[in-house]
Amino acid sequence: MRLTQLYLALCFIGVAAPLSQFIPWVMEHGINIGLLITELFSTRIGAFFGLDVIVSAVVLIVFILHDSKKSAISNAWLAILATLSIGVSLGLPLYLYMRERNNLTNK
């Protein structure tokens, strides 16, 4: 399996895994941002994971902004949008896919 194929497979997992938990929650509670934040930070372990993902997302966005200019990756904003809408689980493998594809094209 080529690296680009692996990154694409990880994109699908990065969408399916978080949404498998988020969609049923939304079906039960609706779009209730206050409740989402309350439940996310209701325990120390939840807060640990929540803060870890938030910091990781910020770091990933900074990396994408810097690296995409250096590596001349077009449409890098898609990986930022993926990070902000689904999460790091999609944004990171999507950007790595874009980067790897760009490297293969420019060889």
- For position 31, what pLDDT does the model report? 94
Answer with the residue of higher pLDDT: 87 or 107: 87
Q: How far is CA 25 from CA 46, 82, 90, in A?
A: 16, 20, 20
- For position 45, what pLDDT does the model report? 97
- For position 94, what pLDDT does the model report? 98
Rg (CA), the chain: 16
pLDDT tens-digit map of 66-103 = 999 999 999 999 999 999 999 999 999 999 999 999 98
CB burial of residue 11 (10 Å; 0-12, 13-18, 19+): buried
For residue 106, pLDDT over 90 is answered with no
- For position 1, what pLDDT does the model report? 75
Question: Is there a contact between 45 and 53 (Cβ–Cβ < 8 Å)?
Answer: no
For residue 105, pLDDT over 90 is answered with no
Q: How far is CA 48 from CA 2, 32, 76, in A?
A: 34, 21, 29
**Domain boundaries defined on the chain:** 3-105
Question: Is there a contact between 64 and 84 (Cβ–Cβ < 8 Å)?
Answer: no
pLDDT tens-digit map of 37-66 = 999 999 999 999 999 999 999 999 999 999
> What is the C-alpha separation between 32 and 46, in angstroms, rounded?
18
- For position 18, what pLDDT does the model report? 97
Look up residue 107 and give its DSSP letter.
-
